Chain A
Protein backbone atom coordinates (compact mmCIF):
# COMPACT_ATOMS: atom_id res chain seq x y z
CA UNK A 1 0.00 0.00 0.00
CA UNK A 2 2.68 2.47 1.10
CA UNK A 3 4.97 1.38 -1.73
CA UNK A 4 2.11 1.97 -4.15
CA UNK A 5 1.55 5.48 -2.78
CA UNK A 6 5.24 6.36 -3.01
CA UNK A 7 5.39 4.91 -6.52
CA UNK A 8 2.35 7.00 -7.55
CA UNK A 9 3.93 10.19 -6.24
CA UNK A 10 7.19 9.46 -8.05
CA UNK A 11 5.40 8.39 -11.24
CA UNK A 12 5.82 5.05 -12.97
CA UNK A 13 5.51 3.47 -16.39
CA UNK A 14 4.39 0.07 -17.53
CA UNK A 15 6.54 -1.44 -20.25
CA UNK A 16 7.10 -4.48 -22.41
CA UNK A 17 10.57 -5.51 -23.46
CA UNK A 18 10.65 -7.83 -26.46
CA UNK A 19 13.69 -9.06 -28.28
CA UNK A 20 16.43 -11.60 -28.13
CA UNK A 21 17.43 -11.66 -24.44
CA UNK A 22 14.65 -10.24 -22.28
CA UNK A 23 15.94 -12.21 -19.26
CA UNK A 24 19.26 -10.43 -19.62
CA UNK A 25 17.46 -7.13 -19.22
CA UNK A 26 16.14 -8.31 -15.87
CA UNK A 27 19.62 -9.41 -14.80
CA UNK A 28 21.29 -6.18 -15.89
CA UNK A 29 18.63 -4.09 -14.25
CA UNK A 30 19.00 -6.04 -11.01
CA UNK A 31 22.76 -5.62 -11.03
CA UNK A 32 22.48 -1.85 -11.71
CA UNK A 33 19.96 -1.48 -8.90
CA UNK A 34 17.05 -0.68 -11.19
CA UNK A 35 13.89 -1.89 -9.54
CA UNK A 36 11.52 -3.64 -11.93
CA UNK A 37 8.24 -4.34 -10.20
CA UNK A 38 5.88 -7.12 -11.15
CA UNK A 39 7.98 -8.62 -13.97
CA UNK A 40 5.85 -11.03 -16.01
CA UNK A 41 6.72 -13.13 -19.00
CA UNK A 42 4.85 -12.24 -22.17
CA UNK A 43 5.12 -13.64 -25.62
CA UNK A 44 8.64 -12.88 -26.85
CA UNK A 45 9.70 -10.89 -23.81
CA UNK A 46 8.82 -9.57 -20.37
CA UNK A 47 6.58 -6.86 -19.04
CA UNK A 48 6.72 -4.89 -15.80
CA UNK A 49 6.54 -1.48 -14.22
CA UNK A 50 9.27 0.86 -13.06
CA UNK A 51 9.68 4.44 -11.98
CA UNK A 52 10.15 7.16 -14.57
CA UNK A 53 13.74 7.87 -13.54
CA UNK A 54 14.60 4.15 -13.71
CA UNK A 55 13.09 3.91 -17.18
CA UNK A 56 15.58 6.49 -18.43
CA UNK A 57 18.44 4.53 -16.87
CA UNK A 58 17.29 1.21 -18.27
CA UNK A 59 17.24 2.22 -21.96
CA UNK A 60 21.00 1.63 -22.50
CA UNK A 61 20.62 -1.73 -20.78
CA UNK A 62 17.82 -2.62 -23.21
CA UNK A 63 20.16 -1.99 -26.11
CA UNK A 64 22.72 -4.21 -24.44
CA UNK A 65 20.16 -6.97 -24.02
CA UNK A 66 18.95 -6.45 -27.56
CA UNK A 67 15.35 -5.89 -26.65
CA UNK A 68 12.96 -3.19 -27.78
CA UNK A 69 11.14 -1.45 -24.98
CA UNK A 70 7.67 -0.05 -25.36
CA UNK A 71 5.77 1.97 -22.76
CA UNK A 72 2.27 0.59 -22.24
CA UNK A 73 0.98 2.91 -19.53
CA UNK A 74 1.93 6.06 -17.65
CA UNK A 75 0.68 6.63 -14.13
CA UNK A 76 1.46 8.87 -11.17
CA UNK A 77 1.69 12.48 -10.07
CA UNK A 78 4.23 13.75 -12.69
CA UNK A 79 1.95 12.59 -15.49
CA UNK A 80 -1.16 14.02 -13.78
CA UNK A 81 0.61 17.36 -13.37
CA UNK A 82 1.64 17.31 -17.01
CA UNK A 83 -1.92 16.49 -18.02
CA UNK A 84 -3.35 19.50 -16.18
CA UNK A 85 -0.40 21.78 -16.92
CA UNK A 86 -2.56 24.29 -18.75
CA UNK A 87 -5.03 24.63 -15.90
CA UNK A 88 -3.13 26.72 -13.38
CA UNK A 89 -6.23 27.53 -11.36
CA UNK A 90 -6.58 23.89 -10.45
CA UNK A 91 -3.20 23.83 -8.73
CA UNK A 92 -3.64 27.23 -7.16
CA UNK A 93 -7.02 26.11 -5.79
CA UNK A 94 -5.58 22.88 -4.46
CA UNK A 95 -2.71 24.76 -2.82
CA UNK A 96 -5.06 27.32 -1.30
CA UNK A 97 -7.31 24.52 -0.10
CA UNK A 98 -4.38 22.79 1.57
CA UNK A 99 -3.30 26.06 3.21
CA UNK A 100 -6.87 26.73 4.34
CA UNK A 101 -7.16 23.30 5.91
CA UNK A 102 -3.79 23.69 7.59
CA UNK A 103 -4.75 27.10 9.02
CA UNK A 104 -8.28 26.16 10.05
CA UNK A 105 -7.10 23.03 11.79
CA UNK A 106 -5.30 25.29 14.28
CA UNK A 107 -8.59 26.67 15.60
CA UNK A 108 -11.54 25.32 17.53
CA UNK A 109 -14.50 24.88 15.20
CA UNK A 110 -17.19 23.86 17.64
CA UNK A 111 -17.73 22.29 21.01
CA UNK A 112 -20.45 20.33 22.74
CA UNK A 113 -21.47 20.37 26.37
CA UNK A 114 -22.36 16.96 27.75
CA UNK A 115 -23.88 16.07 31.09
CA UNK A 116 -25.46 19.42 31.92
CA UNK A 117 -28.96 18.06 32.33
CA UNK A 118 -30.46 20.57 34.72
CA UNK A 119 -27.92 23.36 34.35
CA UNK A 120 -28.10 26.34 32.08
CA UNK A 121 -26.05 25.58 28.99
CA UNK A 122 -25.82 29.30 28.29
CA UNK A 123 -24.21 29.86 31.68
CA UNK A 124 -21.69 27.09 31.05
CA UNK A 125 -20.88 28.58 27.65
CA UNK A 126 -20.29 31.97 29.25
CA UNK A 127 -17.90 30.49 31.83
CA UNK A 128 -16.12 28.51 29.10
CA UNK A 129 -15.71 31.70 27.04
CA UNK A 130 -14.29 33.52 30.07
CA UNK A 131 -11.75 30.73 30.42
CA UNK A 132 -10.74 30.74 26.77
CA UNK A 133 -12.92 28.10 25.17
CA UNK A 134 -15.06 29.51 22.40
CA UNK A 135 -15.49 28.98 18.69
CA UNK A 136 -12.37 30.25 16.93
CA UNK A 137 -9.96 29.77 19.84
CA UNK A 138 -6.38 29.07 18.74
CA UNK A 139 -5.74 25.48 19.79
CA UNK A 140 -2.04 26.08 20.31
CA UNK A 141 -2.80 28.33 23.30
CA UNK A 142 -5.26 25.94 24.88
CA UNK A 143 -3.94 24.40 28.07
CA UNK A 144 -6.73 22.14 29.21
CA UNK A 145 -5.78 21.40 32.81
CA UNK A 146 -5.78 24.98 34.20
CA UNK A 147 -8.93 25.69 32.20
CA UNK A 148 -10.68 22.73 33.84
CA UNK A 149 -9.58 23.97 37.26
CA UNK A 150 -10.87 27.49 36.56
CA UNK A 151 -14.20 26.17 35.29
CA UNK A 152 -14.62 24.10 38.46
CA UNK A 153 -13.86 27.19 40.50
CA UNK A 154 -16.18 29.52 38.57
CA UNK A 155 -19.14 27.25 38.00
CA UNK A 156 -21.25 26.30 40.98
CA UNK A 157 -23.11 23.06 40.90
CA UNK A 158 -20.54 20.85 39.18
CA UNK A 159 -18.11 18.43 40.74
CA UNK A 160 -16.08 17.35 37.73
CA UNK A 161 -15.32 18.75 34.30
CA UNK A 162 -13.27 17.39 31.42
CA UNK A 163 -12.38 19.22 28.24
CA UNK A 164 -11.59 16.71 25.49
CA UNK A 165 -10.17 18.24 22.34
CA UNK A 166 -10.58 16.01 19.30
CA UNK A 167 -9.04 17.61 16.24
CA UNK A 168 -10.89 20.84 15.73
CA UNK A 169 -13.83 20.04 17.97
CA UNK A 170 -14.14 19.67 21.70
CA UNK A 171 -16.42 17.86 24.10
CA UNK A 172 -16.88 19.49 27.47
CA UNK A 173 -18.18 16.89 29.90
CA UNK A 174 -19.51 18.04 33.23
CA UNK A 175 -20.86 16.15 36.22
CA UNK A 176 -23.37 17.93 38.35
CA UNK A 177 -23.30 17.85 42.10
CA UNK A 178 -25.66 15.36 43.67
CA UNK A 179 -28.45 17.06 45.55
CA UNK A 180 -27.96 16.95 49.29
CA UNK A 181 -30.65 14.73 50.78
CA UNK A 182 -32.93 16.33 53.31
CA UNK A 183 -31.96 14.93 56.66
CA UNK A 184 -34.77 14.79 59.11
CA UNK A 185 -33.69 16.11 62.46
CA UNK A 186 -34.38 13.87 65.41
CA UNK A 187 -33.66 16.54 67.99
CA UNK A 188 -36.40 16.97 70.61
CA UNK A 189 -38.97 19.51 69.49
CA UNK A 190 -42.53 20.74 69.85
CA UNK A 191 -45.03 21.50 67.13
CA UNK A 192 -46.33 25.06 67.19
CA UNK A 193 -48.79 26.93 64.97
CA UNK A 194 -47.27 28.77 62.04
CA UNK A 195 -50.41 30.97 61.69
CA UNK A 196 -53.59 31.95 63.51
CA UNK A 197 -56.46 29.61 62.75
CA UNK A 198 -59.09 27.13 63.84
CA UNK A 199 -57.93 23.53 63.92
CA UNK A 200 -59.95 21.17 61.76
CA UNK A 201 -57.84 18.02 61.81
CA UNK A 202 -55.00 16.65 63.95
CA UNK A 203 -52.77 13.87 62.75
CA UNK A 204 -50.19 13.30 65.48
CA UNK A 205 -47.50 10.75 64.75
CA UNK A 206 -45.22 11.50 67.69
CA UNK A 207 -45.84 13.61 70.78
CA UNK A 208 -48.88 14.66 72.77
CA UNK A 209 -51.53 16.99 71.38
CA UNK A 210 -52.07 20.08 73.52
CA UNK A 211 -55.22 21.20 71.66
CA UNK A 212 -58.30 19.55 70.17
CA UNK A 213 -60.10 19.82 66.86
CA UNK A 214 -62.18 22.98 66.82
CA UNK A 215 -59.73 24.87 69.04
CA UNK A 216 -58.52 28.26 67.95
CA UNK A 217 -54.77 28.77 68.03
CA UNK A 218 -52.54 31.78 67.69
CA UNK A 219 -49.31 31.89 65.80
CA UNK A 220 -46.52 30.30 67.86
CA UNK A 221 -48.89 28.50 70.22
CA UNK A 222 -47.96 24.99 71.30
CA UNK A 223 -50.02 22.33 69.52
CA UNK A 224 -48.08 19.09 70.00
CA UNK A 225 -45.69 18.69 72.91
CA UNK A 226 -42.43 16.79 72.80
CA UNK A 227 -42.32 16.34 76.61
CA UNK A 228 -43.39 12.95 77.91
CA UNK A 229 -43.62 12.69 81.72
CA UNK A 230 -42.71 9.22 82.90
CA UNK A 231 -44.30 7.32 85.80
CA UNK A 232 -41.07 7.61 87.72
CA UNK A 233 -41.46 11.38 87.77
CA UNK A 234 -38.92 12.13 85.08
CA UNK A 235 -39.40 13.52 81.59
CA UNK A 236 -38.68 11.87 78.28
CA UNK A 237 -38.03 14.22 75.37
CA UNK A 238 -39.15 13.29 71.89
CA UNK A 239 -39.21 14.68 68.39
CA UNK A 240 -42.86 15.69 67.94
CA UNK A 241 -44.24 15.01 64.48
CA UNK A 242 -47.73 15.90 63.29
CA UNK A 243 -49.88 17.37 60.51
CA UNK A 244 -52.14 20.08 61.85
CA UNK A 245 -54.83 21.29 59.47
CA UNK A 246 -56.54 24.54 60.32
CA UNK A 247 -58.74 27.14 58.67
CA UNK A 248 -56.54 30.19 58.25
CA UNK A 249 -57.82 33.62 57.25
CA UNK A 250 -55.87 35.37 54.52
CA UNK A 251 -56.34 39.08 53.88
CA UNK A 252 -54.52 41.02 51.22
CA UNK A 253 -55.07 44.04 49.05
CA UNK A 254 -54.26 44.80 45.42
CA UNK A 255 -54.49 48.03 43.46
CA UNK A 256 -54.46 48.65 39.73
CA UNK A 257 -54.57 52.01 37.92
CA UNK A 258 -57.52 52.99 35.76
CA UNK A 259 -55.25 53.87 32.87
CA UNK A 260 -51.90 52.36 32.07
CA UNK A 261 -49.40 51.94 29.22
CA UNK A 262 -48.02 48.69 27.93
CA UNK A 263 -45.96 47.41 25.01
CA UNK A 264 -47.41 45.10 22.41
CA UNK A 265 -45.81 43.23 19.52
CA UNK A 266 -46.73 44.46 16.05
CA UNK A 267 -46.56 42.61 12.77
CA UNK A 268 -43.42 44.51 11.75
CA UNK A 269 -40.13 42.74 12.04
CA UNK A 270 -36.70 43.21 10.53
CA UNK A 271 -34.38 40.30 9.78
CA UNK A 272 -30.65 40.89 9.62
CA UNK A 273 -28.59 37.97 8.40
CA UNK A 274 -24.89 37.70 9.09
CA UNK A 275 -22.43 35.16 7.76
CA UNK A 276 -20.30 33.61 10.46
CA UNK A 277 -16.85 32.20 9.91
CA UNK A 278 -14.99 31.38 13.12
CA UNK A 279 -15.10 34.72 14.96
CA UNK A 280 -15.72 36.81 11.82
CA UNK A 281 -19.18 38.09 11.05
CA UNK A 282 -20.15 39.75 7.81
CA UNK A 283 -23.53 41.36 7.05
CA UNK A 284 -25.33 39.33 4.42
CA UNK A 285 -28.56 41.29 4.08
CA UNK A 286 -29.54 44.90 3.60
CA UNK A 287 -32.00 46.09 6.22
CA UNK A 288 -32.11 49.78 6.91
CA UNK A 289 -35.26 49.94 8.99
CA UNK A 290 -35.18 50.73 12.68
CA UNK A 291 -37.65 50.50 15.52
CA UNK A 292 -38.06 52.83 18.48
CA UNK A 293 -39.03 49.99 20.77
CA UNK A 294 -38.06 46.50 19.89
CA UNK A 295 -37.28 43.08 21.17
CA UNK A 296 -34.54 41.06 19.54
CA UNK A 297 -34.15 37.35 18.96
CA UNK A 298 -30.98 35.78 17.54
CA UNK A 299 -31.01 32.44 15.76
CA UNK A 300 -27.70 30.74 14.89
CA UNK A 301 -27.48 28.15 12.14
CA UNK A 302 -24.26 26.22 11.62
CA UNK A 303 -23.22 24.03 8.76
CA UNK A 304 -22.98 20.38 9.78
CA UNK A 305 -20.97 17.90 7.75
CA UNK A 306 -20.95 14.22 8.75
CA UNK A 307 -22.04 15.14 12.25
CA UNK A 308 -19.28 17.73 12.67
CA UNK A 309 -20.38 21.29 13.28
CA UNK A 310 -18.33 23.49 10.99
CA UNK A 311 -17.35 27.04 11.98
CA UNK A 312 -19.41 28.37 9.07
CA UNK A 313 -23.00 29.43 9.33
CA UNK A 314 -25.49 32.22 9.50
CA UNK A 315 -26.76 34.29 12.38
CA UNK A 316 -30.22 35.77 11.89
CA UNK A 317 -31.09 38.67 14.18
CA UNK A 318 -34.80 39.45 14.15
CA UNK A 319 -36.01 42.75 15.57
CA UNK A 320 -39.69 42.66 16.47
CA UNK A 321 -41.24 46.09 16.71
CA UNK A 322 -42.99 46.96 19.94
CA UNK A 323 -45.83 49.42 20.04
CA UNK A 324 -46.67 51.45 23.10
CA UNK A 325 -50.37 51.19 23.83
CA UNK A 326 -52.61 53.03 26.20
CA UNK A 327 -55.37 51.13 27.93
CA UNK A 328 -58.19 52.05 30.28
CA UNK A 329 -59.84 49.67 32.74
CA UNK A 330 -63.48 49.67 33.81
CA UNK A 331 -64.86 48.05 36.93
CA UNK A 332 -65.88 44.78 35.24
CA UNK A 333 -62.44 44.37 33.69
CA UNK A 334 -60.80 45.21 37.02
CA UNK A 335 -62.90 42.57 38.79
CA UNK A 336 -61.79 40.03 36.19
CA UNK A 337 -58.15 41.01 36.72
CA UNK A 338 -58.51 40.69 40.51
CA UNK A 339 -60.23 37.36 40.14
CA UNK A 340 -57.43 36.01 37.93
CA UNK A 341 -54.82 37.35 40.32
CA UNK A 342 -56.48 35.51 43.18
CA UNK A 343 -56.49 32.26 41.21
CA UNK A 344 -52.80 32.70 40.41
CA UNK A 345 -52.09 33.48 44.06
CA UNK A 346 -53.81 30.26 45.14
CA UNK A 347 -52.07 28.19 42.50
CA UNK A 348 -48.53 29.46 43.03
CA UNK A 349 -48.31 31.03 46.48
CA UNK A 350 -50.43 28.50 48.38
CA UNK A 351 -50.25 25.33 46.28
CA UNK A 352 -50.78 23.01 49.29
CA UNK A 353 -53.75 24.89 50.69
CA UNK A 354 -57.41 24.17 50.05
CA UNK A 355 -59.56 27.27 49.65
CA UNK A 356 -62.57 27.11 51.94
CA UNK A 357 -64.11 30.44 51.07
CA UNK A 358 -63.08 33.53 49.20
CA UNK A 359 -64.50 37.01 49.03
CA UNK A 360 -63.39 39.86 46.78
CA UNK A 361 -64.44 43.43 47.50
CA UNK A 362 -63.67 45.79 44.64
CA UNK A 363 -63.75 49.51 45.27
CA UNK A 364 -63.15 52.35 42.85
CA UNK A 365 -61.14 55.45 43.65
CA UNK A 366 -60.02 58.45 41.64
CA UNK A 367 -56.77 56.80 40.43
CA UNK A 368 -57.79 53.23 40.07
CA UNK A 369 -59.39 50.18 41.53
CA UNK A 370 -58.49 48.38 44.71
CA UNK A 371 -59.53 44.98 45.86
CA UNK A 372 -59.61 43.39 49.28
CA UNK A 373 -59.24 39.63 49.28
CA UNK A 374 -60.73 37.90 52.31
CA UNK A 375 -60.16 34.18 51.97
CA UNK A 376 -60.07 31.19 54.24
CA UNK A 377 -57.64 28.41 53.46
CA UNK A 378 -57.42 25.03 55.04
CA UNK A 379 -53.74 24.22 55.36
CA UNK A 380 -51.13 22.52 57.44
CA UNK A 381 -49.90 24.98 60.10
CA UNK A 382 -47.54 22.58 61.89
CA UNK A 383 -44.13 24.13 62.51
CA UNK A 384 -41.36 22.43 64.45
CA UNK A 385 -39.81 24.33 67.35
CA UNK A 386 -36.70 22.61 68.59
CA UNK A 387 -35.61 23.07 72.18
CA UNK A 388 -32.36 22.27 73.88
CA UNK A 389 -32.15 20.01 76.88
CA UNK A 390 -29.55 20.62 79.57
CA UNK A 391 -29.04 17.90 82.11
CA UNK A 392 -27.97 18.86 85.63
Chain B
Protein backbone atom coordinates (compact mmCIF):
# COMPACT_ATOMS: atom_id res chain seq x y z
CA UNK B 1 0.00 0.00 0.00
CA UNK B 2 2.82 2.32 0.94
CA UNK B 3 4.62 1.48 -2.30
CA UNK B 4 1.51 2.30 -4.40
CA UNK B 5 1.16 5.75 -2.79
CA UNK B 6 4.75 6.70 -3.61
CA UNK B 7 4.14 5.65 -7.23
CA UNK B 8 1.16 8.00 -7.43
CA UNK B 9 3.18 10.83 -5.91
CA UNK B 10 5.93 10.23 -8.47
CA UNK B 11 3.42 10.42 -11.31
CA UNK B 12 1.94 13.66 -10.04
CA UNK B 13 5.37 15.19 -9.71
CA UNK B 14 6.30 14.70 -13.33
CA UNK B 15 2.85 15.29 -14.81
CA UNK B 16 2.15 18.76 -16.25
CA UNK B 17 -0.08 21.06 -14.23
CA UNK B 18 -2.76 22.58 -16.44
CA UNK B 19 -4.73 25.55 -15.21
CA UNK B 20 -7.61 26.83 -17.34
CA UNK B 21 -9.69 30.00 -17.20
CA UNK B 22 -12.79 28.93 -19.12
CA UNK B 23 -11.78 28.16 -22.67
CA UNK B 24 -9.94 31.47 -23.14
CA UNK B 25 -6.72 30.98 -21.29
CA UNK B 26 -4.65 27.98 -20.26
CA UNK B 27 -1.48 27.83 -18.25
CA UNK B 28 0.73 24.76 -18.60
CA UNK B 29 3.39 24.22 -15.96
CA UNK B 30 5.98 21.53 -16.63
CA UNK B 31 6.31 22.08 -20.36
CA UNK B 32 9.52 21.27 -22.14
CA UNK B 33 8.87 23.31 -25.25
CA UNK B 34 6.52 24.27 -28.02
CA UNK B 35 6.31 21.83 -30.88
CA UNK B 36 3.85 23.65 -33.10
CA UNK B 37 2.79 27.26 -33.07
CA UNK B 38 -0.14 28.25 -35.27
CA UNK B 39 -3.16 30.43 -34.66
CA UNK B 40 -5.40 27.36 -34.84
CA UNK B 41 -3.22 24.81 -33.13
CA UNK B 42 -0.53 24.92 -30.50
CA UNK B 43 1.27 21.78 -29.41
CA UNK B 44 3.15 21.84 -26.13
CA UNK B 45 5.58 19.13 -25.18
CA UNK B 46 5.73 17.89 -21.59
CA UNK B 47 7.68 15.07 -19.90
CA UNK B 48 5.00 12.43 -20.35
CA UNK B 49 2.87 13.58 -23.28
CA UNK B 50 2.19 16.23 -25.86
CA UNK B 51 -0.71 18.60 -25.27
CA UNK B 52 -2.50 19.82 -28.34
CA UNK B 53 -4.71 22.89 -28.10
CA UNK B 54 -6.98 23.62 -31.02
CA UNK B 55 -9.10 26.67 -31.50
CA UNK B 56 -9.21 30.17 -33.04
CA UNK B 57 -6.80 33.06 -32.59
CA UNK B 58 -4.49 31.10 -30.34
CA UNK B 59 -1.31 32.82 -29.20
CA UNK B 60 1.40 32.25 -26.65
CA UNK B 61 1.08 34.97 -24.10
CA UNK B 62 4.10 34.07 -22.06
CA UNK B 63 6.79 31.43 -22.27
CA UNK B 64 9.55 30.43 -19.91
CA UNK B 65 11.71 27.36 -19.39
CA UNK B 66 8.92 25.28 -17.80
CA UNK B 67 5.77 27.28 -18.28
CA UNK B 68 3.61 28.26 -21.24
CA UNK B 69 0.52 30.44 -21.16
CA UNK B 70 -1.83 30.20 -24.11
CA UNK B 71 -4.61 32.62 -24.92
CA UNK B 72 -7.39 32.39 -27.47
CA UNK B 73 -10.65 30.61 -28.14
CA UNK B 74 -9.88 26.98 -27.30
CA UNK B 75 -12.22 24.40 -28.80
CA UNK B 76 -10.32 21.19 -28.25
CA UNK B 77 -7.60 19.79 -26.02
CA UNK B 78 -5.87 16.58 -26.92
CA UNK B 79 -3.42 14.52 -24.87
CA UNK B 80 -1.05 12.72 -27.19
CA UNK B 81 1.19 10.17 -25.56
CA distance A29 to B39 in the complex (A): 20
Q: Would B63 and A30 count as touching, CB distance under 8 A?
A: yes
Digitize B44-81: 1 where CB-to-A-CB distance is under 8 Å, 0 elsewhere: 00000000000000011001110000000000000000
Contact: A26 with B37, CB < 8 Å?
Answer: yes
Q: CB < 8 Å: which of A22, A23, A33, A46 contacts B33?
A: A23
C-alpha gap A85/B36 in the complex (Å):
43
CA A30 – CA B60 in complex, angstroms?
Answer: 12
| CB contact list, B8-66 vs A, under 8 A | 32-39, 59-60, 63-65
> A7 at interface (Cβ–Cβ under 8 A)?
no
Q: Is the CB of B35 within 8 A of A23?
A: yes
> Interface size class for chain A?
10 to 19
Which residues of B sit under 8 angstroms from A29, Cβ to Cβ?
Answer: 63
Alpha-carbon gap, A92 to B64, bound state (A) = 41
Task: For the complex formed, measure the closest distance between the CB of B70 and the CB atoms of chain A, giving whole angstroms.
Answer: 11
Query: Roughly how many angstroms separate A31 CA and B33 CA in the complex, as a whole number?
Result: 9
Q: A31-B65, A41-B38, A41-B39 are in contact. Are A24 and B33 (CB under 8 A)?
A: yes
CB distance from B68 to the nearest CB of A (A): 8
A40 at the binding interface (Cβ < 8 Å): yes
| CB atoms of A40 and B33 under 8 A apart | no
Minimum-distance CB pairs A-B, first 4: A27-B33, A23-B34, A30-B63, A23-B37
List 19 A–B pairs whose Cβ atoms lie within 8 Å, in order of A's numbering: A22-B37, A23-B33, A23-B34, A23-B35, A24-B33, A26-B33, A26-B34, A26-B37, A26-B63, A27-B33, A27-B34, A27-B63, A30-B63, A33-B65, A36-B63, A39-B59, A41-B37, A41-B39, A41-B59
